[in-house]
Amino acid sequence: MTQPLTVAVTGAAGSVCQSLLFRLAAGEPFGQRPIRLQLIERPEAMQVLRGLAMELEDCAFPLLESVTLHDSPETGFVDCDYALLVGAKPRSAGMQRIDLLKDNAEIFAKQGKALGQYAKPTVKVLVVGNPANTNALIAWANAERLSPSQLTVLMRLDHNRAKGFLSRKLGVSPQSVERLAVWGNHASTQFPDANHVHINGQPLRRGLDIDWYREIMIGEVQLRGEAVINVKGRTSAASAAQAIIDHLRDWMIGTSTGDFVSMGVFSHGEYGVAPGLFFSFPVTCRHGHVDIVEGLELDDFCKKMIRETEQELLRERQAVLSLLPEKSLARRGFTSLWGSLDCAE
């Protein structure tokens, strides 16, 4: 019998998980492996979580072996194969991004410590809660046993949004759009890059309306999350759940031959990006391993856009230095995060 996967999920009573958990229980991203769900929430949300667990049980999913409920990451992360860090304090009206970062930083520091102590040494961690890129850095820096390659950041929602814009503009199926990339931060500085896109296997570059792409599409993709909130009054939920499923499926099973996708991964200086940031790159996946695509040509416009999102992440990192334990990082082969950061994996 195939060994079941233990999947821990934070923020499990939230709106994203209302869609996500049922699809995990059905085995969608994991190649029909049996699943054990360990659902984590704040103590005050446990009643809602119990009702959600009852619904999961009532679906009688063939692959769902068990559901356990936890009000702390210390118990919820025990022996997990995957940890999905979905929960985070939401951004309220008038709140600046840096305020959101500071409010969530201690949450992710605590979760990182719990992952390092209680999760399987081989755990794969997907960070979803915003500001996701810097939350991933905080979680990893506090997870004593984990390599940065074990953490990725959800950029697939931005990737899917950009693919949707392109497919609607060109009148083609989203499935025919390949080699799209989103660079940088899951924020309004992100850079959706259509310069390498293929449509049905053929390069798009000459057929791309550059004025529309630079003046309309990029900005609308960057601000799509805010636009959804303005229209429906709530943050993206079902589309975020779909992005998590897509991300996990590619990470575990692999990306399509000839295509690449966007994931936030740890920078070692690729494409001139500062080391020590969780930065979205175009990647390929095989057998659970993520590789940054090498050798893409970047024009001056692309380089400028990448530098802008890099600078935002550098400012975020500077704001949370007190939560990045330097001694722990040094023991794991990393130098000071506020200087150059070298990896000794």
Which sequence positions are flagged as catalytic? 186
- Coil, strand, or helix at residue 280? strand
Q: Residue 224: CB partners within 8 Å, gap ≥ 6?
A: 158, 161
Question: What tokens appear for 274 in the block?
Answer: 């500062």
Q: What is the SS3 assignment for 249-274? A: HHHHHCCCCCCCEEEEEECCCHHHCC
Nearest CA among 272, 297, 277, 271 for reference residue 187 = 277
Nearest CA among 69, 74, 82, 90 for reference residue 16 = 90
DSSP string, 150-213: GEEE--HHHHHHHHHHHHHHHTS-GGGEES-EEEB-SSTT-EEE-TT-EETTEE-GGGS-HHHI
Q: Which amino acid, one-letter code, is at 211?
A: D
Q: Is 44 exposed, middle or buried (0-12, 13-18, 19+ CB in 10 A)?
A: exposed
Question: What tokens appear for 306 in the block?
Answer: 């990448």
- What gap in Å lies between CA 337 and CA 141, rounded to an integer? 10
DSSP assignment letter at 289: E
Q: Which amino acid, one-letter code, is at 102?
A: K
CA dihedral 232, 235, 237, 238 (to 10 degrees): 40
The residues that bridge with 279 in the sheet, in sequence order, are 265
Nearest CA among 237, 245, 238 for reference residue 30 = 245
CB 292 within 8 A of CB 255: no
- Coil, strand, or helix at residue 337? coil
